[in-house]
Amino acid sequence: MEPLPDKPTPLAEMLDISVPYASALLNGQRPWTRKLAIQAFLKTGMKVGPIATATDAEIAVLARFEEGVPDTPFLHPTRGTDHRNPAEAQA
pLDDT digits (tens, 9 = 90+) for 11-36: 999 999 999 999 999 999 999 999 99
Range of the structural domain that residue 55 is part of: 1-68
Residue 37 lies in a domain: yes
Residue 80 lies in a domain: no
Residue 42 lies in a domain: yes
Q: Nearest 5 degrees, angle CA 63-CA 47-CA 51?
A: 55
Strands (E) in the chain, as ranges, are: none
Residue 16 lies in a domain: yes
| Of residues 29, 32, 25, the one with CA closest to residue 10 | 25
Report the alpha-carbon distance of residue 49 to residue 55 in Å, rounded: 13
Q: What is the pTM of this model?
A: 0.74
Give the confidence band of 73 by pLDDT, cuts at 50, 70, 90.
Answer: low
Residue 73 lies in a domain: no
Number of domain units in the chain: 1
Report the alpha-carbon distance of residue 78 to residue 80 in Å, rounded: 6
Rounded to a whole number of angstroms, the distance between the first and last alpha carbons of the chain is: 37
Report the alpha-carbon distance of residue 22 to residue 82 in Å, rounded: 41
